[in-house]
Chains A and B, each alone.
Chain A
Amino acid sequence: MADTTSPVPTASTRALIKRLQDDGVPVRRLWAPWARLGLWLIFVAMVGGAVGLSGVRPDLGARLRDPVYLLEIIALALASMLMAARTFQEAVPGYVARWAAWGLALGLVLLTVVLWFSQPMHGQVTVTQFIATGVGCAERTVLLAALPWCALLIGVRLGAPLAPARAGALAGGAAFLMAALLMRLVCPLHERLHLLVWHGLPVAGGAALSAVIGLVWLRRWRVRLPH
């Protein structure tokens, strides 16, 4: 039979409680995840505005009338926002994502990959050309992701993430998906390998790197000095 008696904290635990009580200075409450998501989206919009000022692809208006392209853009945007929302929830203990939300985010990412797979493949491009055109896209993806990524990581670090690697991966996924979306507004190439390698791999690599950073950096909330 299970032991249901009420255990009593030890003297040293009671002393610890007293110390914590004495250290109970006012704290600034963390904003709700939705409020922080809104702030992050404003920040991302500013980055997007900078991209717009620096020049988008000349045929963007025409491309947006293409339902496949539009679907790709919407899928990237929604997947990024879902991951960013989940990232901010990770900073608050006790939040649990519903399977439907996980499924939707994963489905949107898979949809994007499928849409990229459905693009034509240009066999006449040499390896040198492939790399020369692609490296620039990958570099710009990383540059566009950098600030939103840092903002997300700092946003999570302000809280108490219980699964730091997952929070890091989500932050990286959200930021790099948003960067991939912005790159699709800039890059005029519609070629399967180019999209999968130079637009897709930075997203996967960014999420993986972010998971490692999260594991190291985001777990430190438990050892930081009291407020």
Chain B
Amino acid sequence: MRGGLQGAGPRQLLDPLRPVTSDGAPRMDEESLRARSVQRTRWMECAQRGDREAYGALLTDVASPLLRFLRRWIADPHELEDVHQDTLMALHRARHTYDPSRPFEPWLFAIARHVAVDHLRRRASRTSREVLVEALPEPGTDTDPGSPRLEEALERLPPAQREAFEMLQLEGMSVAAAAARVGITTGALKVRAHRAYKALRTLLGG
């Protein structure tokens, strides 16, 4: 079966959201963009061999184009940051699949599109199933005297939910960073956190 990398034509080798000037003309000429694409391919090839400097350069170089690309899908800045970080982690986990004989950008943006669509799908699914608890209930103010306080309530949560709550609310980590620490997707981490909030509300009599 013949198959090609998505958009492998010369123009599609480049970022799908190339920077443009106010009059709509490309800010960089085709030659420069092609050279940048070749440079990214080289960086990735080196990164696959364990060259951390090249890998760092590549990740830094693609971070802004990725953000620009994801902004088309996700408007909320906090969600955008989560999905951006999730995309970078997906890139990291899939880096062994990149074939340097192929253009880099179709590979990169296929991953980004997948992460963004997956995020939107999960969000839609979550929204339809759960009432999100936006604010954490205040412990110990208007609760029943017999209700446990926050520390006790946390103790009674399942370990995974407690961990999610502590990372997000007590350590102030971003969702993506917390998800990376425990090795799950941001969507799964959010579900754990929401379940923790709901359980805490019940336990604290909120």
Contacts and interface: CB of A to CB of B under 8 A. Distances in A.
Contact of B67 (A7, A26, A30): A7
A97 interface: yes
Closest 10 interchain pairs by CB?
Answer: A26-B50, A160-B94, A21-B56, A27-B96, A24-B55, A94-B110, A93-B110, A101-B1, A94-B106, A94-B107
B183 interface: yes
Interface residues of B, number: 54
A170 B78 CA distance: 37
Interface string B165-195: 0000000001011001001110010000000
Given A89-B3, A94-B107, A223-B185, A9 B93 contact: no
26 contacts: A6-B19, A7-B68, A7-B71, A8-B64, A8-B67, A9-B84, A16-B85, A16-B88, A16-B89, A21-B56, A25-B50, A26-B49, A29-B48, A29-B97, A33-B3, A86-B1, A92-B107, A93-B97, A94-B106, A95-B3, A96-B3, A160-B111, A222-B90, A223-B184, A223-B188, A226-B92
A21 to B, nearest CB: 4
Given A96-B3, A101-B1, A105-B1, A226 B93 contact: yes
Nearest to A81: B1
A126 interface: no
A13 B89 contact: no
B114 interface: yes
Interface of B: 1-6, 17, 19-20, 47-52, 55-56, 59-60, 63-64, 67-68, 71, 81, 84-85, 88-90, 92-99, 102, 106-111, 114, 174, 176-177, 180, 183-185, 188
A127 to B, nearest CB: 40
B93 A224 contact: yes
Contacts of B5: 94-96
B97 A92 contact: yes
A33 B106 CA distance: 17
A92 B84 CA distance: 20
B177 A162 contact: no
Interface in A94-134: 94-98, 100-101, 104-105
A21 B48 contact: no
B88 A98 contact: no
A18 interface: yes
B56 A17 contact: yes
A24 B47 contact: yes
A91 interface: yes
B64 A4 contact: no
A207 interface: no
A95 B85 contact: no
A28 interface: yes
B84 A98 contact: no
A212 B108 CA distance: 27
A145 B172 CA distance: 50
Nearest to B80: A7
B94 A20 contact: no
